[in-house]
Amino acid sequence: MPASVTTPSDELPSPSTRPTSSRKRWVIGILVLLGIIAVLVGIKAAQIGAMIQAGASFVPPPESVTSAKAETIEWQASRRAVGTVLAVRGVSLGAELSGIVRDIGFENGARVKKGQVLVQLDTSSEAAQLTGAEADAELARLTRARVQTLHAQGAKPQADLESAQARVVQAEAIVTNLRALIAKKVIRAPFDGRIGIRQVELGQVISPGSPIASLHSMDPIHVEFLLPQQALAEVKPGQKVRIHVDVFPRNTWEGELTTINPEVEISSRNVRMRATVPNTDGRLLPGMFANVDVLSEDTSQVVAIPTTAVLFAPYGDSVFVLEEKKDAAGNPSLVAQQRFARLGERRGDFVAVASGLKPGETVVSNGVFKLRNGAAVVVNNALAPQAEASPQPVAP
């Protein structure tokens, strides 16, 4: 028989007989990876559980705040307005006649007295005419005397006497007119006051109406302001007023309400009022902006707290009231309880509480912005600022 021949295909192993080592390595790698992931997940779950447990038992540290008591104080009711300082008398001095400035009798910003000569214009021409006019008047009077004598003797008719008398009147009228012209060229202060910056110089030719300087009466002085028509039921002439100006924040001026306009402005429904204030030091100047408090004769009891104790919000203003409670260990601690309040008038560093707070309760005065309802607090008033009804700025 012929020998059998083996082919290459007969020498290859079948698929079922391939080695499985690589497949096992893949399976082992995947199992190891899954084991590592499981260990990491377990560790992270344990950490998260520990954090949740710690968070459930965590108590935030108390916040450091300052405190103040809600006190009942007596306030004098008042109406506040914004006003303008006005001079009781104020004019812009000017020349009535034309002429050349020969003399100036005041300094810029000086105080002047009534009748004091401020500006002297040239009157040489009028003075010369006055001399001639006075001579004519004297001659007219002598002529009238002679005519009267002759008329009494029957030597002059009545017509000559009347003509002589008319010439006397005419001559004296010319003298009076020239004296008036000379007087008008001497510009005097019409009242006591403080004069402004002069607007003329020596030798300057001025015309009628040319401004010379402004003159204002400074003591007393007026303050004019507006109040709504509802205030007519509360204010009346003679009430005290208190004036503040930003220029002198540490000073106040007191006066009285002197005038209430007898009509209400249709555009704003406000009433114009005027107060008269002593100004002996002259620091209140016309045109100044002023804050006006019209003080009522009545006083009222209000519950007041520092304005810093109020947490202002669009949905309602609130305060944090301090209450003493015991913690889990039984130790006493302070807790801030939020309470909504309705506010009233503000005055200085204080605000009146119309409702929501009782006298004697302690509130958080500083630090309300960092609190929540029920938060634990620690009171430290060592650096608490002093609240004042009339605060004054402190010079650096």
Q: Each residue of 267-310: pLDDT tens digit? A: 888 889 999 999 888 888 888 888 888 887 777 788 888 888 88
Residue 50, pLDDT > 80, answer: no
State the CATH number of the domain containing residue 229: 2.40.30.170
Residue 37 forms part of a structural domain: no
Contact 334, 374 (CB under 8 A): no
* Diameter over CA atoms, the chain: 213
Task: Tell me if 1 is assigned to some domain.
Answer: no
Residue 360 has pLDDT above 50, yes or no: yes
**285: in domain:** yes
In this model, does residue 99 exceed pLDDT 60? yes
State pLDDT tens for residues 228-257.
888 888 888 888 888 888 888 888 888 889
Which is more confident, 126 or 307? Answer: 307
- Looking at residue 214, its pLDDT comes to 86
Residue 190 shares a structural domain with residue 167: no
Q: Give me the pLDDT at residue 330, please.
A: 61
Report how far residue 378's alpha carbon sits from residue 86's, in angstroms, rounded to the nearest whole number. 53
* Domain CATH for 341: 2.40.420.20
Residue 29 lies in a domain: no
Closest listed residue to residue 101, CA positions, set 232, 199, 217: 199
Q: Which of 133, 165, 184 is the last residue of a domain?
A: 184
Residue 58 has what pLDDT?
Answer: 52
Q: 336-352 pLDDT, tens per residue?
A: 888 998 888 787 788 88
Q: What is the pLDDT of residue 29?
A: 80
What's the pLDDT band for 12 if we cut at 50, 70, 90? very low
pLDDT at 127: 82
Mean pLDDT on 27-36: 83
Flag the least confident range among 8-22, 64-78, 162-176, 324-338.
8-22
- Percent of the chain residues past pLDDT 90, beyond the cut: 3
Which of 51-55, 131-135, 212-216 is predicted least confidently? 51-55
SS3 197: coil
Comparison of pLDDT for 132 and 327, the residue scoring more: 132
Work out how many domains the chain is built from and give that number.
4
Q: Are residues 116 and 192 in the same domain?
A: yes
Q: What is the dihedral of CA 268, 271, 272, 276, to 10 degrees?
A: -150
Give the whole-angstrom CA distance, residue 358 versus residue 352: 12
Greater model confidence, 54 or 155: 155
Closest listed residue to residue 62, CA positions, set 365, 336, 339, 381: 336
Average pLDDT over residues 8-25: 58
Is position 396 within any domain? no
Task: Tell me whether residue 11 is in a domain.
Answer: no
Domain that holds residue 277: 79-88+220-298
For residues 302-324, give the mean pLDDT: 87
**154 compared with 220, residue with greater pLDDT:** 220
What is the Cα–Cα distance from 38 to 33, expressed in whole angstroms? Answer: 9
Round to whole Å and give the CA distance between 250 and 263.
35
> Which of 85-94, 110-119, 280-289, 322-331 shows the lowest per-residue confidence on average (mean pLDDT)?
322-331
Q: Can you give the pLDDT at residue 153?
A: 78
Domain stops at, among 171, 198, 216 = 216
Considering only residues 123 and 388, tell me which one the structure prediction assigns the higher pLDDT. Answer: 123
Residues 193, 131, single domain; the answer is no
**Number of Cβ atoms within 10 Å of the Cβ of 144:** 19
Q: Do 315 and 329 sit in the same domain of this protein?
A: yes
**pLDDT at residue 389 in the model:** 63
Helices (H) and strands (E) in the chain, counts: 4, 21
Last residue of a domain, one of 194, 216, 238: 216
Q: pLDDT tens, 55-75? A: 665 556 777 888 888 888 877
Pair 305, 359 in one domain: yes
The predicted pLDDT at position 17 comes to: 45
